Amino acid sequence: MDALLTVNNVWMMICTGLVFFMHLGFAFLEIGLTRQKNTINILFKNLFIITAGLLLYCLLGFNLMYPGEFNGFFGFAGFGLSSPLVDGSLDLGYNEGYTYWTDFLFQGMFAATAATIVSGAVAERIKLNSFMIFVILYVGIIYPIAGSWKWGGGFLDEMGFYDFAGSTLVHSVGGWAALVAIYLLGARIGKFKDGKVGAFPGHNMPFATAGVLILWLGWFGFNGGSVLSADPELTSLTLVTTCLAAAAGGVTSFIVSSIRYKNYDITMFLNGILGGLVGITAGADQMSPTDAILIGAIAGAIIVFGVALIDKIKLDDPVGAVAVHLICGIWGTLAVGIFGNMAGVDQFITQLIGVACYAAICIVGSFIIFYVLKVTMGIRVSAKEETEGLDIHEHGMDAYPDFGLKEH
């Protein structure tokens, strides 16, 4: 028993490290797909998310998300962490797959990820102070309460809603907030002009590509760790379905986009890979390899049309976060009711109810936070600051001071 627990716990700690590594991937992706003059601002936001997110999850979030016995909607087990003890030592019977401390750290990495999704969508025009307040409230309160409904044993868990690793609980939770944020923020200056969509090319495609590959690697921990043990059958299947969905998402996305736009767009390729990963996350432990390829392929096509839809309704999402994390997150969650072990009309309806419940809490919660910030301290930088770049105005420095002419 002790040897098995050790093996399981070591695997979970490795997965925790892989999920942590995803924050570097998000940072690279976001700075790669945006303009040089906002690089430091994006890096600062990503550093704040992981640091503040872990502290908030320790002091408040973990016990909101896992309150023990509660009414299924809201519960709180108290401030801070208090490990279960037996005879003065850590209770190694806490769970057969990991210790209490590993549980906290693994789940804490997920909490920070939800806010990172929003960071990319609001890039290049949000006030840093307002964004930091949003992170504190969303990661500290909204995310863990929403998470308790399923992973904490709440009413959706009792209903039979299934989300293995967070297509909805992490990705859609971030995606809904991103959608609300870009609606209230408005588009970047020059994005929509004279009925046309302006192109703001990312300043570093190698960084963006490295970011996606790092995220793909991190997803081995994101999905593989969600088995909650080192079970050889489930873990290996999960890694296979995760990889196949990512590959199918990327290939389908670049094929569909090349047919539609008559060029090979690497940003569509990159987001297609991410869409496939998000799509498989809800049911990675249940799908056959063929199912995973189908789910990923559909997600890849969704990316192309999702990005076009966001542009058509004049919402400005610099990195495609809404298409990747929200739309593909919804698809992946519903796919459990189509391809999963319990596939059928009843399960599909249950998945749909779950999606609707998360939409409600996330839209209402993020709207209240952002709207109050908007009418009080404001959420958008001035036109001068946006035009000249947030790095100079909010941080007083340039990301590449010796790399030739500054971009403005």
**Rounded mean pLDDT, 374-393:** 95
For the four alpha carbons of 14, 224, 166 and 147, in that order, the dihedral sign comes to: negative
> CA-to-CA distance for 325 and 173, rounded, in angstroms?
9
> CA-to-CA distance for 103 and 285, rounded, in angstroms?
19
What count of other Cβ atoms lies within 10 Å of the Cβ of residue 79?
10
Residue that wins the pLDDT comparison between 3 and 316: 316
> CA-to-CA distance for 43 and 27, rounded, in angstroms?
6
**Residues 6 or more apart from 331 whose CB is under 8 A from it?**
279, 295, 298, 299, 302
Instruction: List phi, psi (to 5°) of 70.
Output: -155, 180
> CA-to-CA distance for 177 and 329, rounded, in angstroms?
13
**Rounded mean pLDDT, 43-66:** 96
Domains of the chain: 2-81+91-395 (1.10.3430.10)
Question: Under a CB-based contact definition with an 8 Å cutoff, are residues 128 and 52 in contact?
Answer: no
**Rounded mean pLDDT, 110-138:** 95
**Rounded mean pLDDT, 164-183:** 96
pLDDT of residue 95: 79
Buried b (16+ CB within 10 A) or exposed e, 305-331: ebbeebeeeebbbbbbbbbbbbbbbbb
> CA-to-CA distance for 302 and 329, rounded, in angstroms?
11
Residue that wins the pLDDT comparison between 2 and 134: 134
pLDDT of residue 52: 96
Whether the predicted pLDDT of 271 surpasses 60: yes
**Rounded mean pLDDT, 393-405:** 81
Task: Report helix, strand or coil for 354.
Answer: helix
pLDDT of residue 92: 73
pLDDT of residue 4: 87
> CA-to-CA distance for 226 and 220, rounded, in angstroms?
10
For the four alpha carbons of 173, 178, 184 and 185, in that order, the dihedral sign comes to: positive
**Rounded mean pLDDT, 359-376:** 97
> CA-to-CA distance for 25 and 152, rounded, in angstroms?
28
pTM (predicted TM-score):
0.94
The pLDDT-based confidence of 195 (bands split at 50, 70, 90) is confident
Query: In the beta sheet, which residues pair with residue 380?
Result: 126
Question: Under a CB-based contact definition with an 8 Å cutoff, are residues 327 and 335 in contact?
Answer: no
Mean pLDDT, the chain, integer: 94
**Residues 6 or more apart from 290 whose CB is under 8 A from it?**
none
pLDDT of residue 206: 97
pLDDT of residue 105: 95
pLDDT of residue 197: 86
Whether the predicted pLDDT of 29 surpasses 70: yes
**Rounded mean pLDDT, 139-149:** 96
User: Which residue in 117, 137, 139 sits closest to 372, CA to CA?
Assistant: 137
> CA-to-CA distance for 191 and 71, rounded, in angstroms?
46
At residue 97, what is the residue type? G
pLDDT of residue 360: 98
**Residues 6 or more apart from 98 whose CB is under 8 A from it?**
8, 9, 12, 106, 228, 229
Least confident stretch, 76-80, 173-177, 244-248, 363-367: 76-80
The pLDDT-based confidence of 372 (bands split at 50, 70, 90) is very high
Query: In the beta sheet, which residues pair with residue 197?
Result: 192
> CA-to-CA distance for 339 and 333, rounded, in angstroms?
11
Whether the predicted pLDDT of 404 surpasses 70: no
pLDDT of residue 14: 97
Q: Tell me: the pLDDT tens digits for 82-120?
A: 878 776 677 777 778 899 999 999 999 999 888 899 999
The pLDDT-based confidence of 187 (bands split at 50, 70, 90) is very high
Write out the DSSP string of 280-342: HHTTTTT--HHHHHHHHHHHHHHHHHHHHHHHHTT---TT-HIIIIIIHHHHHHHHHHHHSTT
Least confident stretch, 127-136, 186-195, 318-327: 186-195
pLDDT of residue 405: 52
For residues 381, 112, 367 and 157, what is the CA-based torsion angle, rounded to 10 degrees? 170
- The helix (H) or strand (E) run that includes residue 233 is helix 232-261
Whether the predicted pLDDT of 354 surpasses 80: yes
CA angle (249 as vertex; 244, 250 as ends), nearest 5: 105
Looking up tokens 């930088």 gives 381
Question: Under a CB-based contact definition with an 8 Å cutoff, are residues 49 and 112 in contact?
Answer: yes
